[in-house]
Amino acid sequence: MCVCVCVCVVCPDVQAADTDQSGFLTQAQVKSVLKELSYRTLGLSTLQLVTLLSEAPLTPDGRVQYVKFVPVAAAMVLSMYDVDTMKLKLQVRSCSNSNSNYDGTHISLHA
């Protein structure tokens, strides 16, 4: 998964939430969109969602300019998947190394 794919997944839902086409969303709207995307597509934990939301740049009146936020969020989602993939690879290696009947077969996982 690349940042471009993440942007393509996130951006349409964010734009759809912008009913007045101002380019801005409230924090509540951003949270709602990210929660829905997480349930439907991204599969993020609550901690990951909170982390994403904490990075949303706010205007002085507390709104999020999503054109600036979506690329940041997409890069963060990508890095979250990379971390999870690395954890899974380490778990597989750990289990493989502790198995005395391990036949040397390696499992390769790609994000």
Residue 60, Ramachandran bin (φ over 0: left; ψ between -120 and 50: alpha; else beta): alpha
Taking the C-alpha atoms of residue 67 and residue 106, their distance in angstroms, rounded to an integer, is: 41
Taking the C-alpha atoms of residue 93 and residue 14, their distance in angstroms, rounded to an integer, is: 39
- Residue 59's pLDDT is 92
Residue tagged 């509540």 (tokens):
28
- Residue 106's pLDDT is 44
Q: What is the mean pLDDT of residues 31-53?
A: 86
Q: What is the mean pLDDT of residues 18-33?
A: 90
Residue 49 · residue 76 · CB < 8 Å: no
The segment with the largest mean pLDDT, out of 5-19, 64-78, 96-110, is 64-78
- pTM here? 0.64
Query: In this structure, which long-range contacts are made by residues 102-106, counting pairs with CB atoms below 8 Å and at least 24 apart in sequence?
Result: none
Query: What CATH architecture applies to the domain 3-98?
Result: Orthogonal Bundle (1.10)
Which tokens go with 25? 């969303």
pLDDT band at 107 (very low <50, low <70, confident <90, very high): very low
- Residue 111's pLDDT is 44
Which residues, other chains included, contact 69 with Cβ-Cβ below 8 Å and sequence gap of 6+?
A: 14, 30, 55, 56, 57
Taking the C-alpha atoms of residue 65 and residue 83, their distance in angstroms, rounded to an integer, is: 27
Residue 91 has pLDDT above 70, yes or no: no
Q: What is the mean pLDDT of residues 10-38?
A: 86
Residue 73 has pLDDT above 80, yes or no: yes
Domain chopping of the chain, boundaries: 3-98
Q: What is the mean pLDDT of residues 98-108?
A: 47
